[in-house]
Amino acid sequence: MKHQDLIFSNDVASHLDALVEKYNPSKLFILVDKNTRELVLPILVNESKTASNASVITIEAGDTNKNIESLMLIWSQLVEGGATRKSMLINLGGGVVTDIGGFAGATFKRGIRFVNIPTTLLSAVDAAVGGKTGINFHGFKNEIGAFCEAEAVIISTRFLSTLSNEELLSGYAEMLKHGLISNVDTYNRLIAQDVTNIDAEQMLLLLQESVLVKKHIVEEDPTEKGIRRALNLGHTAGHAFESLALHRKSPIPHGYAVAWGLVVELVLSHMQLKFPSNELSRLATYIYENYGAFHITCDDYPSLIEFMRHDKKNDSANEINFTMLKNVGDIHIDCIATEEDIKTALDIYRDFMHI
Amino acid sequence: MKHQDLIFSNDVASHLDALVEKYNPSKLFILVDKNTRELVLPILVNESKTASNASVITIEAGDTNKNIESLMLIWSQLVEGGATRKSMLINLGGGVVTDIGGFAGATFKRGIRFVNIPTTLLSAVDAAVGGKTGINFHGFKNEIGAFCEAEAVIISTRFLSTLSNEELLSGYAEMLKHGLISNVDTYNRLIAQDVTNIDAEQMLLLLQESVLVKKHIVEEDPTEKGIRRALNLGHTAGHAFESLALHRKSPIPHGYAVAWGLVVELVLSHMQLKFPSNELSRLATYIYENYGAFHITCDDYPSLIEFMRHDKKNDSANEINFTMLKNVGDIHIDCIATEEDIKTALDIYRDFMHI
């Protein structure tokens, strides 16, 4: 895997200027969505020498726009803006911008340099690092994409004040996941916090700890042949919740889906690997109190199981693959659960969520 | 770079069956265009145990169909056919099929295994090996794509009898290029042949020698940061001829464009690096006798230079980059030519081509 500059700092503009000086791109492009164009780009343009000279490419905000049309718009504007192989693309935004911008960068002229500047907690802790890029296709999330690392990622808490509590909580769910797959100390630090009341400096420290958990796993297994699947904890059930919500035409934030997915998958971990019931109960309570509940009935089980079956993580169409834990930090990848087990776990999830 | 099985054999079906047994894909897909579906697929289905059970995906033939619409059709049919990350795609066709099929394989669920079975001389000697995949976009050739090696390539002369002399000559131009960048012996063997009268066994030997020239260069520099640019000999001028022909609405075969491009670029090599004039004249004569001439007047020079300027190989939009030779096998990459030099070279090209 190529070396990646991972920069933790709230002085985003200076670091961006230094990267542009280092790589000396033939042309500089900044990808934003309509939200970050309004709320974040002006700050950067004001503070950075290089950002003010860049060509700006704008896409619509939201996961429904992480699609082939937005991708083609980016490619077209790169062509029309005279981008060469030595040009550089700055992805300034949340997960949608870093995922699609990363894929555009990975494929334009078979690959140009790109830098991620995540502006949401979720993208800082998850999407911006690790090289998974892509778009949704045919109703499936991230169905098309590539593994391609950003040249650099500038991680800050600088722009978190532009976020709602919902967006903060959404990102925090991935941090909880990183805690669960690392060690008890990290996990305890996280679960002790009131997310909506952390100061920026404290958050930058927690964020750095969390991103480094992910970075070390990705370095061991960049293309997810093995241990990288640890990062999928909560995501098989979580993606199914997300797909069901989309199907109901009332989408839920990714991190919320992961939070609820963590509960389901730790129930499965308890059933199959005896994950301690007190830890399970502590997490479920934290999730319920902070995230509320995603409402399902047993009538939803067949659709949820069907969505899980379509997950990229399955090696064959007949098995449903999960990452499970025997304890905090004790990871078991490639666990298979039967439909019966999953139904039981969904029953217990509903008990925890008071549904 | 990952290991790639490079198989030279006319027993294509057995090798395909062995690969399927080795990788045991969850599902097998074969990508063809309308020509190879009619002329080549029946042979393979008849001889191979595995090909007959595969799902067939068909795209329109021809370079104008190496586009985003065909790519989306392939992605869709993979989704609808229930492809998982452990599925495998067989690209059975010429350069269009291996380029677009390779890109589809590189990006579906962030990458599934694919195998190339080139059916034209051009794709056998060029497109199918080396990991350059992609599509044309916004009027530019291969503007979008990825570097991604096929798991295996089965190279044969088995299907060459389905080709016209024009298609044979088109492929042979890339073989001549491989001769020029390797050594005098290889080059002399190639330029001594009457292409349209070589028997299949002799051709398989020449083909193997030629593909190995490319393979060794690609192994040294898979993503074209340096020596891989040797393979671009003839291609800066060649692509410009190809684009001009497209613009005139009378497309020319890629290999013909390369043949004429080789003449232009060896003229430049003679001007800048004193490439021997007797070798230049021998090549120009061979090209003229076998390929005829691509007609241009000095009125076409500005468009040709503009096309060269847009070439992916240029690091900046202001310079035009060429690979040149000081002698057969003595490669100089990253040579810059001025507009005046290029115009002079085009004048001399026209003299050689009796225009």
What are A319's two structure tokens? 């098995």
Q: In this predicted structure, what is the pLDDT of residue B198?
A: 86
Is A174 annotated as catalytic? yes
pLDDT of amino acid A286:
97
Kindly report the nearest CA distance between residue B279 and chain A, in angstroms. 34
Q: SS3 for B88?
A: strand
Fold for the domain defined by B165-352? Dehydroquinate synthase-like, alpha domain (1.20.1090)
pLDDT score for B315:
63
Cα of B18 vs its chain's centroid, Å: 26
- CB–CB contact A111 B86 (8 Å): no
Catalytic residue check, A65? no
| Chain A residues with beta carbon closer than 8 angstroms to that of B107 | 107, 134, 144-146
Q: Which helix (H) or strand (E) element contains residue B344?
A: helix B339-352
Number of Cβ pairs < 8 A linking chain A and chain B: 97
For every one of its 355 residues, what pLDDT tens digit does chain A have, with 9 covering 90 and above?
Answer: 467 889 999 999 999 999 999 999 999 999 999 999 999 999 999 999 999 999 999 999 998 999 999 999 999 999 999 999 999 999 999 999 999 999 999 999 999 999 999 999 999 998 888 899 999 999 888 999 999 999 999 999 999 988 999 999 999 999 999 999 999 999 999 999 998 888 888 899 999 999 999 999 999 998 888 999 999 999 999 999 999 998 999 999 999 999 999 999 999 999 999 999 999 999 999 999 999 999 999 999 999 999 999 776 776 667 899 999 999 999 999 999 999 999 999 999 999 999 9
Give chain B positions within 8 Å (CB) of A1: none
Residues of B8-32 as b/e, b for ≥16 C-beta within 10 angstroms? Answer: beeebbebbeebbeeeebbbbbbbb
Instruction: Choose the weakest-confidence range: B100-104, B239-243, B267-271.
Output: B239-243
CA–CA dist B163, B241 (Å, integer) = 23
- With contacts defined as CB-CB under 8 Å, which chain B residues touch A316? 26, 84, 86
Shortest distance, CA A13 to any CA of chain B (angstroms): 25
| Residues B86, A315: C-beta atoms closer than 8 Å | yes
**CB proximity list for A14: less than 8 A, separation 6 or greater:** A48
Provide the residue ranges of all domains of chain A, joining segments of one domain with +. 5-162, 167-352
Query: Which positions in chain A touch B316 (Cβ < 8 Å)?
Result: 26, 84, 86
* Bridge partners of residue B107, in order along the sequence: none
Interface of B with A (CB under 8 A): 26, 68, 72, 75-76, 79-80, 82, 84-86, 106-111, 132, 134, 137-138, 140, 142-147, 223, 312, 314-317
CATH architecture of the domain A167-352 equals: Up-down Bundle (1.20)
Inspect the interface and report whether the beta carbons of A79 and B138 lie closer than 8 Å.
yes
What 3-state class would DSSP assign to B57? strand
Contact: B75, A145; criterion CB under 8 Å: no
Q: Is A354 a catalytic residue?
A: no
Q: Residue A183: what pLDDT?
A: 94
Give which of B103, B107, B141, B311 to mutate to test A binding, by max A Cβ within 10 Å.
B107
What number is the average pLDDT over the span B306-326? 83
| Contact criterion met (CB < 8 Å) for A146 and B223 | no
Of these residues, A151, A174, A242, A279, which one is catalytic? A174
Contact B144 A223 (CB under 8 A): no
Find the catalytic residue in A15, A132, A177, A270: A132
Mean pLDDT of chain B: 94
Helix (H) or strand (E) holding B303: helix B301-309
Distance from CA of A328 to the nearest CA of B (A): 29
Q: Put residue B329 in one of left, alpha, beta given phi > 0 → left and psi -120 to 50 → alpha.
A: left
Between helices A68-80 and B68-80, what is the axis angle to 10°?
160
The residues of B annotated as belonging to the active site are 110, 132, 174, 214, 224, 228, 232, 235, 239, 254
**pLDDT surpassing 80 at residue B21:** yes
The answer to whether the CB of A117 falls within 8 A of the CB of A65 is no
Q: What is the pLDDT of residue A128?
A: 84
Residues 6+ positions from B38 with CB-CB distance below 8 Å: none
Residue B119 has pLDDT above 90, yes or no: yes
Which band of pLDDT confidence, cut at 50, 70 and 90, is reported for residue B319?
A: confident
pLDDT of residue A228: 92
Going from the C-alpha of B143 to that of each of A67, A76, B31, B249, the distances in angstroms are: 19, 10, 22, 20
Cα A137 from Cα B294, distance rounded (Å): 43
**3-class secondary structure for chain A?**
CCCCEEEECCCHHHHHHHHHHHHCCCCEEEEEEHHHHHHCHHHHHHHCCCHHHCEEEEECCCHHHCCHHHHHHHHHHHHHCCCCCCCEEEEEECHHHHHHHHHHHHHECCCCEEEEEECCHHHHHHHCCCCEEEEEECCEEEEEEEECCCCEEEECCCCHHHCCHHHHHHHHHHHHHHHHHHCHHHHHHHHCCCHHHCCHHHHHHHHHHHHHHHHHHHHHCCCCCCHHHHHHCCHHHHHHHHHHHHHCCCCCCHHHHHHHHHHHHHHHHHHHHCCCHHHHHHHHHHHHHHHCCCCCCHHHHHHHHHHHHCCCCCCCCCCCEEEEEEECCEEEEEEECCHHHHHHHHHHHHHHCCC
How far does Cα B329 stand from its chain's mean position?
Answer: 20
User: How far is Cα A19 from Cα A216, in angstroms, rounded to an integer?
Assistant: 23
Residues of A engaging B, defined by a Cβ cutoff of 8 Å: 26, 68, 72, 75-76, 79-80, 82, 84-86, 106-111, 132, 134, 137-138, 140, 142-147, 223, 312, 314-317
Q: CA B269, CA A254: separation in Å to the nearest integer?
A: 57
Say what the pLDDT of residue B26 is.
94
ipTM over 0.85: yes
CATH topology of domain B5-162: Rossmann fold (3.40.50)
Sign of CA dihedral A254, A258, A259, A263: positive
Q: How many CB atoms lie within 10 A of CB B241?
A: 25
* Residue of chain A with shortest Cα separation from B74: A144
Asked whether the beta carbons of residue A143 and residue B75 sit closer than 8 angstroms, the reply is yes
